Chains A and B, each alone.
Chain A
């Protein structure tokens, strides 16, 4: 059972305050948000920082919920996502990871690269353009999640795609919220 101690040490050394792996639903989203909020409250975090972290967490979690139905209910990949919050002295780090097919991976990469090239005013303009012109997708997404995460955090979105074989990639996305 050494893996338990190893996992514990990894979480401590990487400053992870919450790790959730498994099925993602709206109910689970609410529970994870409540846990993270209580954690920030108990550490006496400033309300402006708490709101930004909350905001990024919601977009991240709801992205996973919406896209987990892309998979066949019997597929192991459907419930194979991970959500992590890290807290260091000067920052919160919100990370999600979920499987996507190769085609979606290419589209995601293009989209995030496009967002990362924009400055504050560019992001604002993109947000307004999308909200004016787009209707909600059939999944109920507004196409604004990544733009909003970039705006609220004020940082570039970091991503990685690891090959899972069988035409899938594991998409990891990290957003950093500075505490000062």
Chain B
């Protein structure tokens, strides 16, 4: 399967989706002008991955900041992952970032996927 490897910018996150090496990560800042357009290829990739997933998929979110339009798309990413067996989430937040911790907790309440919370 093709690898998605996008460098982060000042308004878009770094994305690494690599089935072969078992690395699935979204990190950095997410405040694109058109969040639906930005996340569409990622949603498509996850749907295709779901046809033949690895036995276990540890998906990492290590976001510094995201806007509200991105939060809707992050929920869409999580909902797409929810349909795949063996998925779990590592949700990272900066140790003094209660808002990011709370955002992770809210997402974990909205989907049926195990979350682990970690600080950086």
A148 to B102, CA, bound (A): 12
Chain A interface residue count: which class? 20 to 34
Q: Enumerate chain B residues within 8 angstroms of A26, measured Cβ to Cβ.
A: 11, 32-33
| Interface status of A38 (Cβ within 8 A of chain B) | no
- B residues sitting closer than 8 Å to A (CB atoms) are 10-11, 31-36, 65, 67-69, 71-72, 75, 94, 96-99, 106, 109-110
Q: Enumerate chain B residues within 8 angstroms of A144, measured Cβ to Cβ.
A: 68-69, 71-72
Q: Enumerate chain B residues within 8 angstroms of A142, measured Cβ to Cβ.
A: 68-69, 71-72
Q: Kindly count the residue-residue contacts between A and B in the assembled complex, taking CB atoms under 8 Å apart.
A: 69
Nearest-Cβ distance from residue B34 to partner chain A, whole angstroms: 5
Q: Residue on B with the closest CB to A65?
A: B33
- Produce 1/0 per residue, A109-145, CB < 8 A to B: 0000000000000001001100110111000111011
In this complex, the member of B34, B68, B75, B110 whose beta carbon has the largest number of chain A beta carbons within 10 angstroms is: B68
Binds B, one of A14-22, A44-52, A74-82: A44-52
Q: Enumerate chain B residues within 8 angstroms of A136, measured Cβ to Cβ.
A: 35-36, 69, 72
